[in-house]
């Protein structure tokens, strides 16, 4: 749902059986009840569950609804029997393009679940946008309540409410507080929205809520002691958002006069943020205005660039490389923590990093990699590292949010215009290159990924912020190029994550996302190779845009996909370099040389050898050295074997 939250998709087939192994929401409800908390159990709704599942046999997930519903009925009935007065079922899939089949499934599911719930009330909660396709079906469901996103992202829901009305007696959970971002809400504007909603919903049936789950924001801004003092009032983490909801609830029940003081204070904060010099950089805005249209071009077409790069790099067929990062050992993390806390002097920390880089370069040379990397020992996070060196960013100490499972991230706060006061990566890239005759890649995070993995200011279009980031990365590319770095990798793993939920809105996003990447890459001369890396992506639906990036080499996550993912590159005649990952870095398993040989032979059955690179799926930061080095040695040996025995002329 265009957030930085990832889920594991269940893999289902047409004959999939379902049964309840453990009623986890029931256990959570009983735990809350034991603490005296009047909790509302929350489940993923059946339509969303099926639509987000992956069908292994190409069948329709909705065909499984009749098999799935008995399990949902059992869960709901057990929750009701345990004393749940409300049960919430999340159906964010309704904020996407919905079909007639989706809407029929919605009706079928909730007519049965309402019966199973007995006296418990069901709330169907939507999120992440408006429900334009489903609104009329949604409000006709026999459930007790409907939750709508009434933040800026779901603003069309208010128009739907005004156009089609709202059933008398139903509850509306009005999501006027943005659960996606960390900015203080404009409470006066929120009250305006709620007062418009009250024209269609009775006051005793209106619940004030967030637009979505608060898992996307940190807990409490009061824990932060290192943020610039001026921006702290602009921020609302989960605790502050709950306080905003309480204030608005009081305003709805008792009138604006009852919260006059809070509204006045909030207005002052919103006004100060809008006019703060911290958010405006005239030089950045002028540089964007002066950017010529040709700034999205490399100065030469790909065939000319490829010839110049071949002459410069002298690489063999099936060149081997890695994606960038190497394992961050406890020693590396301890040294960084000591440096950050002031317990390790800068010269000592720099000497430690230099030694780490020298070791990584030597080991890569030893196993025979063709294109090297410096290992990124100095980097804490691929976005934070750059944000800390750019103007317009701030960073939290405790602002962790869930990414997936137990993995949490601490997104930077992009609060103002972005500029690059000085080079960010040139020092360590040139040091690494000085240690070897083989090319060492400069490693950068792309503008779209920095944008999508940050909390982004909401006072201007995201495109504007992304173009500012692109200018900063472009300047870094130019400095690396001028310093003699022959290959520069600009990572864009989050390109697809920002894709709008509605198909009709996706082209505009992709247009400016591609343009921003091209602006960043345009800082390189034609003989300098631009690589990019993507993961977590479904490439088929954005293939044209991937091609339009005009990167010289595309490195992709592919080890678990075999040749299936690559077919589109063959059928579409993709003519640039491509490195389908052959090493699944998400597994501790060390592949044998024969495994790599088999993977390469599969790739070469689909793609021409002159285009293929040999590389892992992703960066190696989270793996252990004892896993990585044997695996890479086997990968390089396999590339050499295929090069000599499969590609060599007989």
| Residue 538 neighbours by CB distance under 10 Å | 10
Place of tokens 């081997």: 320
What are the φ/ψ torsions at residue 326 (nearest 5 degrees)? Answer: -115, 165
Residue 163 has what pLDDT?
Answer: 97
Nearest partner of 432 among 386, 486, 381, judged by Cα: 486
Q: What whole-number distance in Å separates Cα of residue 466 and Cα of residue 451?
A: 6
Nearest partner of 323 among 387, 390, 369, 385, judged by Cα: 369
Residue 295 has what pLDDT?
Answer: 85
Is residue 56 within 8 Å of 11, Cβ to Cβ?
A: yes
Helices 426-434 and 462-482, packing angle to 10 deg: 30
Tens-place pLDDT, residues 169-224:
999 999 999 999 999 999 999 999 999 999 999 999 999 999 999 999 999 999 99
Pairing type for strands 391-394 and 413-419 reads antiparallel
Residues 6+ apart with CB under 8 A from 141: 106, 107, 110, 111, 114, 124
- Whether the full predicted model's pTM is greater than 0.85, yes or no, is yes
Residue 335 has what pLDDT?
Answer: 96
Is residue 578 within 8 Å of 552, Cβ to Cβ?
A: no
What residues make up the domain containing 328? Answer: 304-644
Is residue 44 within 8 Å of 90, Cβ to Cβ?
A: yes
Residue 407 has what pLDDT?
Answer: 86
Q: What whole-number distance in Å separates Cα of residue 251 and Cα of residue 255?
A: 5
Q: Is 12 inside any structural domain? A: no
Place of tokens 């020298």: 358
| Residue 48 neighbours by CB distance under 10 Å | 20
What is the residue-wise DSSP string for 1-52? --SS---PPPEE-TT-----S--HHHHHHHHHHHTT-----EEE-HHHHHHT
Q: What whole-number distance in Å separates Cα of residue 410 and Cα of residue 399?
A: 5
- Residue 348 CB-half CA count within 13 A: 9
Indicate which residues carry an active-site annotation: 586
Residue 2 has what pLDDT?
Answer: 85
Q: Is 267 inside any structural domain? A: no
Question: What is the torsion angle, in degrees rounded to the nearest 10, for the CA atoms of residue 162, residue 168, residue 171 and residue 174?
Answer: 10
Residue 536 has what pLDDT?
Answer: 62
Q: Provide the domain count of the chain.
A: 1
Residue 146 has what pLDDT?
Answer: 99
Nearest partner of 299 among 473, 612, 538, 518, judged by Cα: 518
Element housing 206 (H / E): strand 206-210
Task: Give one word for 133, left, alpha or beta, with left for phi > 0 and alpha for psi -120 to 50.
Answer: alpha
Residue 216 has what pLDDT?
Answer: 96
What are the φ/ψ torsions at residue 345 (nearest 5 degrees)? Answer: -70, 150
Q: Is 395 inside any structural domain? A: yes
Is residue 325 within 8 Å of 625, Cβ to Cβ?
A: no
Place of tokens 């692109």: 470
Name the β-bridge partners of 533: 555
Q: What whole-number distance in Å separates Cα of residue 202 and Cα of residue 97?
A: 30
Q: Is 341 inside any structural domain? A: yes
Q: What whole-number distance in Å separates Cα of residue 124 and Cα of residue 623?
A: 41
What is the residue-wise DSSP string for 150-177? -SGGGTHHHHHHHHH---TT-EEEEEEE
Q: Is 138 inside any structural domain? A: no
Max alpha carbon distance in the chain (Å)? 89
**Residue 75 is encoded by which pair of tokens?**
């869960």
Q: Is 22 inside any structural domain? A: no
**Residue 561 is encoded by which pair of tokens?**
């996909």
Q: What is the block-wise mean pLDDT of the chain (650 residues), using blocks of 10 residues?
A: 87 97 96 96 98 95 98 98 98 98 98 97 98 98 98 95 96 98 98 97 97 97 96 98 98 97 98 95 95 88 97 97 94 94 96 97 98 96 93 96 90 97 98 98 98 96 97 98 98 92 95 97 97 80 92 91 85 94 90 95 95 94 93 97 80
Q: Is 560 inside any structural domain? A: yes
Q: What whole-number distance in Å separates Cα of residue 182 and Cα of residue 194?
A: 21
Q: Is 295 inside any structural domain? A: no
CATH at residue 400: 3.20.20.210
């Amino acid at each position: 749902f265009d957030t930085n939250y990832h889920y594991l998709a269940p893999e289902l087939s047409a004959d999939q059986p379902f049964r309840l192994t453990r009623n986890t929401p029931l256990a959570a409800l009983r735990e809350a009840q034991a603490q005296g908390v009047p909790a509302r159990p929350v489940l993923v709704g059946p339509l969303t569950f099926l639509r987000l599942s992956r069908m292994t046999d190409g069948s329709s997930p909705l065909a499984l609804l009749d098999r799935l519903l008995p399990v949902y009925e059992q869960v709901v009935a057990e929750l009701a029997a345990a004393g749940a007065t409300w049960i919430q079922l999340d159906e964010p899939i309704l904020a996407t393009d919905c079909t007639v089949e989706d809407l029929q499934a919605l009706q079928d599911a909730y007519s049965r679940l309402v019966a199973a719930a007995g006296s418990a009330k069901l709330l169907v909660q939507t999120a992440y946008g408006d429900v334009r396709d489903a609104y009329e079906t949604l409000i006709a469901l026999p459930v007790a309540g409907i939750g709508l996103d009434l933040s800026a992202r779901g603003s069309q829901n208010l128009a739907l409410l005004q156009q089609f009305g709202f059933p008398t007696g139903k509850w509306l959970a009005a999501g006027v507080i943005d659960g996606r971002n960390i900015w203080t809400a404009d409470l006066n504007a929120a009250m305006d929205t709620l007062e418009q909603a009250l024209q269609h919903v009775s006051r005793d049936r209106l619940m004030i809520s967030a637009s979505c789950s608060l898992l996307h924001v940190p807990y409490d801004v009061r824990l932060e002691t290192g943020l610039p003092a001026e921006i702290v009032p602009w921020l609302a983490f989960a605790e502050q958002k709950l306080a905003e909801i309480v204030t608005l609830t009081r305003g709805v029940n008792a009138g604006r006069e009852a919260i006059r003081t809070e509204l006045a204070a909030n207005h002052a904060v919103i006004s100060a943020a809008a006019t703060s010099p911290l958010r405006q950089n005239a030089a950045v805005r002028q540089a964007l205005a002066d950017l010529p249209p040709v700034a999205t071009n490399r100065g030469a077409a790909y065939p000319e660039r490829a010839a110049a790069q071949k002459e410069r790099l002298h690489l063999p067929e099936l060149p081997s490389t890695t994606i960038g990062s190497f394992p961050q050992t406890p020693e590396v993390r301890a040294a960084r923590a000591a440096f950050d806390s002031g317990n390790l002097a800068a010269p000592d920390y720099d000497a430690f990093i230099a030694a780490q880089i020298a070791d990584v370069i030597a080991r890569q040379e030893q196993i025979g990699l063709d294109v090297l990397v410096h290992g990124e020992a100095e980097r804490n996070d691929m976005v934070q590292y750059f944000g800390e060196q750019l103007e317009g960013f701030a960073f939290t100490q405790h602002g962790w949010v869930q990414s997936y499972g137990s993995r949490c991230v601490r997104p930077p706060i992009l609060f103002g215009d972005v500029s690059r006061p000085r080079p960010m990566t040139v020092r360590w890239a040139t040091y690494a290159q000085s240690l070897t005759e083989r090319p060492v890649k400069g490693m950068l995070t792309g503008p779209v990924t920095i944008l999508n993995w940050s909390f982004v200011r909401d006072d201007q279009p995201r495109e504007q912020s992304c173009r500012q980031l692109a200018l900063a990365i472009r300047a870094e590319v130019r400095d690396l190029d001028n310093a003699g770095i022959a290959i520069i990798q600009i990572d864009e793993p989050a390109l697809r994550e920002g894709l709008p939920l509605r198909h009709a809105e996706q082209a505009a996003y992709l247009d400016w996302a591609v343009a921003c990447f091209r602006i960043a890459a345009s800082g390189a001369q034609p003989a300098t190779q631009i690589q990019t890396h993507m993961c977590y992506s479904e490439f088929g639906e954005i293939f044209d845009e991937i091609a339009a990036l005009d990167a010289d080499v595309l490195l992709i996550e592919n080890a678990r996909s075999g040749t299936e993912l690559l077919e589109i590159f063959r059928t579409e005649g993709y003519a640039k370099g491509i490195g389908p990952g052959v090493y699944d870095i998400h597994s501790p398993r060390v592949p044998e040389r024969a495994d790599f040989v088999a993977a390469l032979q599969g790739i070469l059955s689909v793609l021409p050898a002159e285009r293929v690179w040999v590389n892992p799926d992703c960066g190696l930061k989270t793996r252990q050295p004892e896993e990585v080095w044997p695996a890479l040695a086997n990968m390089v040996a396999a590339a050499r074997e295929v090069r000599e025995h499969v590609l060599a002329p007989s």
